Amino acid sequence: MGLTLTYKLLSAHLAEGKIAGLRQAQSSRGGRDFAKCEEIGIRIDQTLTQDATGTTAFLLFESMGAGRVKTQLSASYVDHNIAGFGPENQTDHIYLQTAAAKAGVYHSRAGNGICHQVHLERFAKPGVTLLGSDSHTPTAGGIGALAIGAGGLDVAAAMAGGLFYLTCPKVLGVKLTGKLNDWVAAKDVILKLLSILTTKANVGWVVEYFGEGASGLSVPQRATITNMGAELGVTTSIFGSDEQTRKFLAAQKRENDYQPLAADADAEYDRVIEINLNELEPMAACPSSPDNVKTVSEIAGVRTGQVGSTGSLQVIIGSCTNSSFADLMMVAGVLKGRRINHMVEFSIAPGSREVLNMLAENGALAEIISAGARVLESGCGPCIGQGLSPADGVVSLRTFNRNFPGRSGTAGDKVYLVSPETAVASVLTGFITDPRELPKLFGIKYPKIGLPSEFVINDSMIEKPLSEKDAAKAEVIRGSTIVVPETPTQLPDNLQGQVLIKCGDKITTDHIMPAGRFLKLRSNVPEYAKAVFNCFDEKGKPTFAERAMELKKKGTAGIIVAGESYGQGSSREHAALCPMYLGVRAVIAKSIERIHKANLINFCIVPIVFAEPGDYEKIRLADRLEIDNILEAIKNSDEVKVIDKTSSFEFVGKLKLSRRDRDILLSAGLLNYTKKGQRY
């Protein structure tokens, strides 16, 4: 049997563990047993960091004492936190710029674009491994890179030359047949897949696209699909590298980076799903989860209902999912010579300065502006709650990848995720509209946008790193708002704790650690930690942070109890780092998502999974829990016994840990583990 592309790339980068043996062991057991799975360690060729996670990553990289990066290429982007409310943002940018120059890292300045879009344009190549401190790093899977999102500390370790460790994944083959019809977009492919697989229970899989339908998609279309694969919770998503890839790289004047890559013709996948592109129709993820998918025709007509005001509908086209040159050219083609509906507030945020520049040069931007659009800077902006929060009750249609509750900055928001085609159709009508109606409603023909033969290349906002000689003399400027994060302390053998919060299923890292107006505090853990779980705080009652601090002062550990898929969404390690700062030592959940679990371990919070999911029901808020001999269990066992001293019952918690996870927990976190002379 032949190999999948995923396994080929993993094998080419394998430094520890075995791939084939592990798969055999899995199938002979007839299922997956994570506790017994050995991990694999792979070499990382490229890394990517962004400002919101990168400040911590660089601070941790510095404290590893590694000096210069050991990767083939590392790039640092400033894209999340660029509005500059207060001095914190620019202080972070200056630190990142000077730290990157010294460490041998490329630095893409604020305004140059969203990390994933710029990385795809300028640096990503087929066949490399890319580790990024952002969950949408798999965007580069669209160009045939094995691109994985991770916490900042894992990325810092890779920058220092360390391996990246992961459970050898299973591979889901998605066979694409047929061809997308007019007005149906790449976004609809990934929304369809989300409707099949949902955001839960996909941990440990890689999605690999193949088939004649895949060959017909351009690199930016593929990147939309691999980008939003993050919402499935999979390790990554990947397309092969073919003529489409060569064309994209040639247009980016990087044809030398091209190499053809594909799975073997007889590759064996662990599961195959077939999607016929001909049969797809426009889709939308309805409030408030990326897997709450319906067809646009089912929800057509939805709007806020305040006729006569711009509060009828908010529409934003942007984010790392859907802000490519082709996306915005299509939008310009539809809007050409028209006016947006007067009840709509419409904004665009081109994904990179390259895209913005090209739209400006060819006149498309003028078409979009004269139709009535607001133009935002090339950056994450409203996708991470940095502005344009909708008014209470206002329906917001966005081409983004996440619509977790409140992520827009408005509690109780109603955010729908759609393709640029659906977004622009709704801009014209003032309500959610199936774009296939546009020819009938307005006589608009689908603007078919191919790849330009040449992109306008201007790398002047990407600063090259200093030479080793110059770097030795260069100063890293660390302003006063930047606070070096604390490292965890050793776990006690007898863990006495109290349940600080009991939450339900699908708790995202946005619930745990809000972004939006708190984002500027990323480089100041003591301040940022005050916002942990603030979406669940009740008026007039002590906040989660206050209760946790109170407990910490008494020497009692904080414990988080949760349902399924705890820690979905972003890679932000602050969702572990800040709870750690507040004294949280364990999370007990029905299941925990991959990146978040790794972050918990890196910051010495023990991830425990209910052996019997029914035990979740028996625990109550503020119950006192005891786990005796926890160190011994972490060392040698797959289980811990948890005693609920308040409700007087016992239950078993599973420790789904690799040998290395165990060593990291016993060393009080990854940083201490590396300081003990262990390999990264």
Residues at the site binding ligand MIC, with contacts judged by CB under 6 A: 52-53, 80, 134-136, 149, 384, 402, 515, 569-572
Of these, 56, 401, 426, 509, which contacts ligand SF4 (CB under 6 A)?
Answer: 401
C-beta of 169: minimal distance to ligand SF4 in Å?
A: 22
Distance (Å, whole) CA 585 – CA 576 = 10
Active site residue 408: no
SS3 (DSSP) at 492:
coil
Q: How far is the CB of 298 from ligand MIC (least distance, A)?
A: 27
Q: Quick one: what does residue 571 bind among ligand SF4, ligand MIC, none, with the CB cut-off 5 to 8 Å set by partner type?
A: ligand MIC
Nearest to 461 by CA among 367, 310, 353: 353
Q: Does residue 160 interact with ligand SF4 by CB under 6 A?
A: no
Let me know if 594 is a catalytic residue.
Answer: no
**Residue 345: burial class (beta carbons within 10 Å; 0-12, 13-18, 19+):** buried
Structure tokens at 167: 């459970």
Which residues, 296 to 315, sit near ligand SF4 by CB under 6 A? none
From 258-266, 285-293, 379-387, 556-564, span contacting ligand SF4 (CB under 6 A): 379-387
Tell me whether residue 80 or residue 574 sits nearer to ligand SF4 (CB atom): 80
Q: Where are the alpha helices (DSSP H) in 409-543?
A: 420-429, 438-442, 468-473, 509-512, 525-528
Q: Which amino acid does the sequence have at 457?
A: I
Binding region for ligand SF4 (CB under 6 A) out of 104-112, 368-376, 378-386, 495-503: 378-386
Residue in 638, 672, 674, 641 with CA at minimum distance from that of residue 657: 638
Got the DSSP string for 564-619? TTBTBS---THHHHHHHHTTEEEEEES-B-HHHHHHHHHTT-EEEEESSTTHHHH-
Tell me, yes or no, if 572 is annotated catalytic: yes
| 3-state secondary structure (DSSP) of residue 88 | helix
Catalytic member of 396, 570, 591, 658: 570
State which residue, 26 or 89, has the beta carbon closest to ligand MIC.
Answer: 89
Question: Judged by CB under 6 A, does residue 327 bind ligand SF4?
Answer: no
Q: How far is the CB of 382 from ligand SF4 (least distance, A)?
A: 9
Among 320, 328, 604, 655, indicate the residue that binds ligand SF4 (CB under 6 A): 320
Q: How far is the CB of 324 from ligand SF4 (least distance, A)?
A: 13
Give whichever of 4 and 55 is closer to ligand SF4, judged by the CB atom: 55
Nearest CB to ligand SF4, comparing residues 74 and 556: 74
141, 187, 260 from 241: Cα distances, Å: 10, 20, 5
Spatial CB neighbours of 636, under 8 Å, sequence gap ≥ 6: none
Selection from ligand SF4, ligand MIC, none that 114 binds (CB < 5 to 8 A by kind) is ligand SF4
Query: Is the CB of residue 641 less than 8 Å from the CB of residue 628?
Result: yes
Give the nearer residue to ligand SF4 in terms of CB position, either 236 or 319: 319
- Which residue in the list 116, 402, 436, 511 is annotated as catalytic? 402
Least distance (Å) between residue 572 CB and ligand MIC: 3
Choice between 151 and 390, CB closer to ligand MIC = 151
**Which of 251/384 has CB closer to ligand MIC?**
384
Q: Say which of 79, 615, 644, 661 is annotated catalytic.
A: 79
Shortest reach from residue 485's CB to ligand MIC, in Å = 15
Q: For this structure, is 659 an active site residue?
A: no
Could you tell me which stretch among 9-17, 191-199, 377-385, 451-459 binds ligand SF4 (CB under 6 A)?
A: 377-385
Q: Write down the least CB distance from residue 472 to ligand MIC, Å.
A: 31
- Residue 420 CB contacts under 8 Å (≥ 6 apart), including other chains: 185, 187, 317, 322, 327, 328, 330, 331, 399
Beta bridge partners, 131, equal 47, 148
Query: Which one from 13, 43, 80, 594 is the annotated catalytic residue?
Result: 80
Task: Kindly state the smallest distance separating residue 249's Cβ from ligand SF4, in Å.
Answer: 22
Give min distance, CB of 484 to ligand SF4, in A: 25
Query: In terms of CB distance, is 49 or 304 closer to ligand SF4?
Result: 49
Q: Which part of the chain contacts ligand SF4 (CB under 6 A), choosing from 93-101, 376-384, 444-452, 500-508?
A: 376-384
Which residues within the stretch 97-126 sit at the binding site for ligand SF4 (CB under 6 A)? 114
- Bond into 288 cis (ω within 30): yes
Q: Contact letters (x/-) for ligand SF4, 171-210, by CB under 6 A?
A: ----------------------------------------
To ligand SF4, the closest distance from the beta carbon of 573 in angstroms equals 15
Q: Is 80 among the residues known to form the active site? A: yes
SS (H, E, C) 517-546: HHHHHCCCHHHHHHHCCHHHCCCCCCCHHH
How many of the other CB atoms lie within 10 Å of CB of 614? 10
Scanning residues 540 to 569, which ones bind ligand SF4 (CB under 6 A)? none
Question: Would you state the structure tokens that stand for residue 336, as one six-digit string?
Answer: 């050409």
Amino acid at 36: K
Q: Give min distance, CB of 577 to ligand SF4, in A.
A: 18
CA-to-CA distance for 307 and 310, rounded, in angstroms?
8
Among residues 39 and 134, whose Cβ is nearest to ligand SF4?
A: 134
When asked if residue 378 is in the footprint of ligand SF4 (CB under 6 A), the reply is no
Neighbour tally for 517: CB within 10 Å: 15
Active-site entry in 134, 291, 327, 413: 134
Of 669, 548, 511, residue with least CA distance to 603:
669
**228 near 290, Cβ under 8 Å?**
yes
* Binding-site member from 383, 388, 423, 670 for ligand SF4 (CB under 6 A): 383
* Nearest one of 421, 134, 167, 120 to 283, comparing CA atoms: 421
Instruction: Give how far Cα 197 sits from Cα of 203, 224, 290, 379, 637, Å.
Output: 11, 17, 11, 29, 32
The tokens for 581 are: 């700062």
Q: Give the integer Cα–Cα distance in Å for 245 and 260.
A: 8
Q: Which of 380, 424, 500, 576 binds ligand SF4 (CB under 6 A)?
A: 380
Q: Interface with ligand SF4 includes 660 (CB under 6 A)?
A: no
638 is known as an active-site residue: no
Closer CB to ligand SF4, residue 199 or residue 312?
Answer: 199
Separation between Cα atoms, residue 569 and residue 455, nearest integer Å: 32
The one catalytic residue among 436, 572, 596, 662: 572
In angstroms, how far is the first alpha carbon of the chain from the final one?
34
CA distance 592 to 206: 17
- For ligand MIC, give the closer residue by CB, 184 or 383: 383
Residues in contact with ligand SF4 by CB under 6 A are 80, 114, 134, 136, 319-320, 380, 383-384, 401
Q: Which amino acids are annotated catalytic? A: 79-80, 134, 402, 570, 572
